[in-house]
Amino acid sequence: MNNKIESINCTDQLYKGFHISKIINSLSNENWKLILLPTERCNFKCMYCYENHALGQMTENTVNAVKKLIARRLETKELKYFNIAWFGGEPLLSKEIISNINGYVKKIADQRVLFSSNITTNGYLLDQKTFENLLALQINYYQISLDGDRDFHDKVRCKINGNGTFDKIWENLLNIKKCDAEFSIILRLHVHSENIFSMQKLVCKIKDAFSDDNRFKVFIRPISKLGGTNDDQVKSPSDVISIIHKFYAMLDNKVSLWDTGSTIQGQYICYAAQPNSLVIRPNGSLAKCTVALDTNINNIGKLNDDGTLSIINDKFQSWVEGFKEINNLLKCPYYNRKHSFEPKCGKCNFSNYDLTGRG
C-alpha cells in the first residue's frame, strides 16, 4: 500500500505492541482511506466465500455521491494522504466505475494530497490491457488469491459455472510481468488441510516464474471460516504456522515476501478500527469491516446523494474503541469482540495471522 497509513517503519517504537506511528496515523486527519465496493457480485463461486452477493453494481447515485464526498474532503487543509482500496465481490466486473471514480480523483487531487489506490481482485479479468488501464488510474497495488496449483485451486476457486480459473489467472500474471511499470502484486496463498502438496507445487512454480521480479510478493495464510455456507468444510492444518514457515523457506529469499517486517515487529491495526477509514457499499450503505458485511453493528450509516454522511455515532464508536486503551480490539474489532479470540479473518486485506506464534 502506497499510503502513509500502511507504510510504517518496522524499527519504529512500540506501545503495547503497536507501532506508535501507526497509532498516530490511524487517528490523524492527514490520512483518509475509502474502501469502495463497485459491485458485490462475483464471477467466482469460491467454496469458502462468506458474501451473499445480493447487492449488484454501485448505483449511479452512489457513484456521484462518492465523487461529491471526495471533492469536499480533498478541499480540507489537513488531508495529505488519500487512499482508495477497491474491493468486492469482484471489483473488475465494474471496471467503468473504478475508471469513473479514480479518473475523477486524478483530475481534482492537487499536489498537496498524495493519492494512492489498490485493488483486491480474483485476477481472472486482469488481462494486460485492463492492468495497463488500472495502472493509468494510479492503481499500483494488487492482491490476488491462489489456493494451490491448478489441481486444488480449481476445486475451491471456480467460476460460477464450475469451470477452473487457475490457468487464466496464471496467464494474466505472466503477461503482467512483461510490463515495465512499477507496481506490487501480492500473491496471497491460502493453506488448507488438503492442499499441502498442491501448495508445494505452486510455491515452486512461483519461485521459478517470479524470483527475478520483486514486484511480485508472496503472503501465505491459513484458510479461515468466515461465516460462509460451507464453513464446516473449511479446514486449515493444526500445525499451519510451521507449514507456512516451511513454504516461506522454500522460497529461499528468492521471491519477495509481503510485509513480514510489520507482522513480526508490531501488531497489525485493522482498517475497521481506524477512525479515518470507511467502507462504502454499492447502495451507499456505510460499513467499517469488509467481512461482517451483513451484521447490524457494521451498518453504520448512509452516504447521502449530496455527498454528506449520516453516521450512527454509537455504532461507529464501537469499531474504534480499541484506541481508548490500545488493546486487541485494534487488531480485529469484529472477531475480538464477537468471539474473544485472535482474528481469523481470511479475506480482509491486512489482517494479521501471527507467524511468530505470539498472541
Binding residues vs ligand SF4 (CB under 6 A): 42, 44-46, 49, 51, 88-90, 122, 270, 272, 289-292, 332-335, 343, 345, 348, 351
Inter-axis angle of helices 128-136 and 95-108, nearest 10: 30
Name the minimum Å distance from CB 359 to ligand SF4: 15
CB of residue 8 to ligand SF4, shortest distance in Å? 17
Q: Shortest Cβ distance from residue 107 to ligand SF4 (Å)?
A: 30
Indicate the residue among 49 and 79 with the shorter CB distance to ligand SF4.
49
CA distance 344 to 261: 20
Check: CB of residue 252 under 8 Å from CB of residue 210. no
Closest to ligand SF4 by CB, 81 or 124: 124
Distance in Å, CB of 95 to ligand SF4, minimum: 16
Q: Which is nearer to ligand SF4, 79 or 289 (CB)?
A: 289
For residue 185, which of 232, 146, 156 has the smallest C-alpha distance?
Answer: 146
CA–CA gap between residue 44 and residue 159 (Å, rounded): 4
Neighbours of 251 (CB within 10 A): 18
CA dist 341 and 323 (Å) reads: 18
Closer of 246 and 259 to ligand SF4 (Cβ): 259
Taking the complex as a whole, the smallest distance from the CB of residue 345 to ligand SF4 amounts, in Å, to: 3
Please say which residue, 223 or 255, places its beta carbon nearer to ligand SF4. Answer: 223
Encode 89-158 in three state secondary structure: CCHHHHHHHHHHHHHHHHHHCCCCCEEEEEEECCCCCCCHHHHHHHHHCCEEEEEEEECCCHHHHHHHCC
Query: Helices then strands (H, E): number in the chain?
Result: 12, 13
Of residues 105 and 185, the one with the C-beta less far from ligand SF4: 185
CB of 352 to ligand SF4, least distance (A): 8
